[in-house]
Amino acid sequence: MNAASVGASGGQRVIRVGLAGYGMAGAIFHAPVIAAVPQLRITAVMTSRAEDVARDLPEASTVATARALFADPAIDLVVIATPNPSHFELAEQALRAGKHVVIDKPMTISVGEADALIALAAETGRVLSVYQSRRWDNDFQTVRQLIETGRLGHVSAYEAHYDRFRPEVKAGWRERAQPGSGVLFDLGSHLIDQALTLFGRPETVYADVLNLRPQARVDDYFHIVLGYRDRRAIVHASCLVREPGPHFAVHGDRGSFIKYGMDSQEAALKAGQRVGTPGWGEDDPAAYGTFVAADETRESVPTLPGNYAAYYAGVAAAINGTGPVPVTASAARDVIAIIEIARRSAAERRTIAL
User: pLDDT tens digit string along 252-290?
Assistant: 999 999 999 999 999 999 999 999 999 999 999 999 999
- Cα–Cα distance measured from residue 39 to residue 177, given in angstroms and rounded to the nearest whole number: 39
Domains of the chain: 5-131 (3.40.50.720), 134-306+338-353 (3.30.360.10)
State the average pLDDT over residues 125-154.
98
State the average pLDDT over residues 305-318.
98
User: pLDDT tens digit string along 154-166?
Assistant: 999 999 999 999 9
- Cα–Cα distance measured from residue 141 to residue 127, given in angstroms and rounded to the nearest whole number: 25
pLDDT of residue 174: 77
Q: Say if CB 81 and CB 106 are below 8 A apart.
A: no
- Cα–Cα distance measured from residue 181 to residue 335, given in angstroms and rounded to the nearest whole number: 15
Q: Say if CB 36 and CB 309 are below 8 A apart.
A: yes
Kindly tell me if the per-residue pLDDT of 86 is higher than 70.
Answer: yes
pTM attached to this predicted model: 0.94
State the average pLDDT over residues 11-26.
92
286: exposed, middle or buried (C-beta count within 10 Å: 0-12, 13-18, 19+)? exposed
- Cα–Cα distance measured from residue 156 to residue 148, given in angstroms and rounded to the nearest whole number: 14
Amino acid residing at 271 = A
